[in-house]
A and B are shown apart, each in its own frame.
Chain A
Amino acid sequence: MATHDEIEIEVLRYHPETDSEPSYRTYRVPFAHETSVLQGLQYIKDRLDGSLTFRWSCRMAICGSCGMMINGVPNLTCSAFLREYHPGKLRIEPLAHLPIERDLAVDQTDFLEKLASIQPYIIPAESKAVDEGPFTQTPAQRERFYQYSECINCLLCYAACPQYGLDSGFLGPAALALLHRYNSDSRDVGKADRMPIVNAQEGVWACTLVGYCSEVCPKGVDPASAVNRNKVISTLDYFFRFMAPRGASE
């Protein structure tokens, strides 16, 4: 690493075995043009303080491990660069609105349970044997859901959503985006099964359209659009059930 400059990184630390609440520690880190924020943290861990705890893996913004708050903004640390913050300093905190497991690592279990609850898999009209070959799906049909399938589960959108912070019962942006992904897939007929989740109080109606989730999403998923399109869908669903109370939507 061709080193040019040094930058100050302030990190929020919390150890569940010894700390009653989190506190900040500051490190000085040398960096070059191409040094990512993640590499800055790795430098601290390798050279200054091996006890600093954070998650990372792919280094290429696709595994979704390394999301943190950089100066108050949710971001993937592997694709943000120290030079962007120089000569100022960085304050790195674990993703907001999620419980801190240790230091910069948050507890992801709530999201994983929510993901499981939306039936995130194809529910086909009738089972098709593998020998019958693939389903036909035109590029236009694929386009209808593809953007929502690009979610890397990084949870930046949860850190962006104050409604989730205030009430973690809310299903939240990414889970709803993935729900919408399956409902919009031409191979899937599971929408009726998923509508009760959309309609529930913890579903789309907990959203007040702050819109920050889509702003911070690193993959252009635009979860806010999935949530708010489903408000329209939920209203129609309610209306049709109201019109035909014994309707087939159960």
Chain B
Amino acid sequence: MAVRRPYVRPMAGWWRRNPFYIFYMLREATSVFVALYALQLLYGLYTLAVGEAAFDAWLVSLRHPLFLVFHGVALAAALLHAFTWFNVAPKAMPVLYLGSHRVADRTLVWAQYLIFAVISVAILGVVLGG
């Protein structure tokens, strides 16, 4: 009697099979840099609690070329992270309507950039102005 013998293909190395997956893995990897940056910031706060000398030492250490490189990479990662999440955010939100018209995903994505820009400018204003 004939039997079914379906063949299941292996998944090993799946994320290399498609540029979309590689980008997805990159997006997931950005979280590592964001986490490291946060740890480092926490450490700064800790030095502030310990005393002025410790805090100054931390500030000096930040100017080390290795740290500068790290910050550059972390910034890039954070931007990529923001970019990818901005793109998918409309998928997680309830559908928005303006009157009887559905707000397009694209509009929502742009709205996030707008908000991002406004907040960034405001913070910059506070930092530079203050």
Q: In chain B, what residue has the closest Cβ to A20?
A: B7
A188-237 contacts to B (CB < 8 Å): 208-212, 214-215, 222, 224-225, 228-229, 231-232
Q: Are A225 and B9 in contact (CB under 8 A)?
A: no
Q: Given A16-B7, A162-B15, A211 and B91 touching (CB < 8 A)?
A: yes
Task: Tell me, yes or no, whether A30 is within 8 Å of chain B by CB.
Answer: no
Question: Could you list 11 further interchain pairs (A-B, Cβ under 8 angstroms) beyond the known A72-B17, A100-B8, A166-B14?
Answer: A16-B6, A17-B2, A99-B7, A100-B6, A107-B6, A162-B15, A211-B24, A214-B91, A215-B20, A228-B91, A232-B94
Consensus secondary structure, chain A interface: mixed
Q: Are B92 and A162 in contact (CB under 8 A)?
A: no
Q: In chain A, what residue has the closest Cβ to B91?
A: A225
Q: Please tell me the size bucket of the interface on B.
A: 20 to 34
Q: In chain B, what residue has the closest Cβ to A228?
A: B92
Of B9, B20, B28, B95, the contact of A212 (CB 8 Å cutoff): B20
| A to B contact number (C-beta, < 8 Å) | 75
CB distance from A18 to the nearest CB of B (A): 10
One digit per residue, 1 when the CB lies within 8 angstroms of any chain B CB and 0 when it does not, for chain A 36-73 equals 00000000000000000000000000000000000011
Task: Tell me, yes or no, whether A143 is within 8 Å of chain B by CB.
Answer: yes
Q: Are A99 and B6 in contact (CB under 8 A)?
A: yes
Q: Are A210 and B6 in contact (CB under 8 A)?
A: no
**Which positions in B face A, CB cutoff 8 Å?**
2, 4-9, 11, 14-15, 17-18, 20-21, 24, 28, 88, 90-95, 97, 100, 102
